[in-house]
Amino acid sequence: MATPSVVETMRERLYRRDPVFSFEFFPPRDAKGGEALNNALVELSPLNPAFVSVTCGAAGSTRDLTRDLVCSLQDRYRFGVMAHITANGYSRSGLADLVKDYHARGIRNFLALRGDPPRDDPGWTPGPDQAGHAADVVKMVRDLFSDVSIGVAGYPETHPEAASAESDLRFLREKVEAGADFVVTQMVFDNAGYFAFEHRARKSGVRAPILPGIMPVTRSGQIERFEGMCKIEVPKTLRAAVRGREDPGRVREIGIAYAAAQCADLLRRGAPGIHFFTLNQSRACHAVFAALQAMGW
């Protein structure tokens, strides 16, 4: 195997303290999806993000697709690639093998997750040979390699299964103490909620940078779907602005304007960067990025 190229890790990148921009993609399952992803990469890669990340479908359902996409992006681009890895869907040894394989290919950034339960088993509990929580995954990766950056998920509106906001923060701290370098949040639409979460996280001892996750709204039905799926609340102003609008172009314009203003405010008030959930589409994220550049970011 040729010696893999190793690029700057997120830990090194965040240390530089200028804003970190990243794009999240998912592995397409068919040719049409592949074309959409390719188009998005062609549009977004010249923006030179600090890293791009690749999701892993619920319960490892895209395990081979994720691995192939992570490796092909690593070979194709200069920016860092972050592989999402999940406890759910893998045995401990299977997950360790995956991480070792990624490492041998030059991947140095991981988002360590418990993972979503399988669609047909919402009450999933880990098997005896599986990691039970994301902190176990962080520890496993950190025990294997000291030269990688590890991110973990954070929930400004509290994870839906958490017993309380306090316990959720305690477990976030556990993930960081196990070796995580940074936190990427669930999608945020309300900056006050992000900063309140950051404040509470700092008070409970979480020192790692917390990157807000941003998803520009591009279709009117998305808001209900995000709220239902992720148990988050979208501010009334945005909800009212897109409700009942038939014109998709107008909805996209509103979503872009909202996200651009939101990102500028986040950065101005000290957020370490922006993680964009692209849904493998480029137009909205590109427009938000261009607006931020025009504002001097």
Ligand X SMILES: Cc1cc2nc3c(=O)[nH]c(=O)nc-3n(C[C@H](O)[C@H](O)[C@H](O)COP(=O)(O)OP(=O)(O)OC[C@H]3O[C@@H](n4cnc5c(N)ncnc54)[C@H](O)[C@@H]3O)c2cc1C
Q: Which residues bind ligand X (CB under 6 A)?
A: 55-56, 58, 84, 86, 111, 113-116, 133-135, 153, 159, 161-162, 167-168, 171, 175, 184, 186, 213
CA nearest to 89, candidates 50, 118, 55 = 118
The residue among 251 and 271 lying less far from ligand X, judged by its C-beta, is 271
The residue among 78 and 203 lying less far from ligand X, judged by its C-beta, is 203
User: Looking at 8, 12, 24, 166, which residue is catalytic?
Assistant: 24
Burial of 21 (0-12, 13-18, 19+ CB in 10 A): buried
CB 115 within 8 A of CB 125: no
24 a catalytic residue: yes
What distance in Å separates the CA atoms of residue 120 and residue 124, rounded to the nearest whole number? 9
Instruction: Provide the total of helices (H) and of strands (E) in the chain, helices listed first.
Output: 11, 8
Two tokens at 87? 């406890």
The residue among 81 and 254 lying less far from ligand X, judged by its C-beta, is 81
Please, what is the minimum distance in Å from the beta carbon of residue 132 to ligand X?
7
The residue among 139 and 286 lying less far from ligand X, judged by its C-beta, is 139
Please, what is the minimum distance in Å from the beta carbon of residue 120 to ligand X?
14
Please, what is the minimum distance in Å from the beta carbon of residue 273 to ligand X?
13
CB 89 within 8 A of CB 56: yes
Please, what is the minimum distance in Å from the beta carbon of residue 213 to ligand X?
5
CB 131 within 8 A of CB 140: yes
User: Where in the sequence numbering do the catalytic residues fall?
Assistant: 24
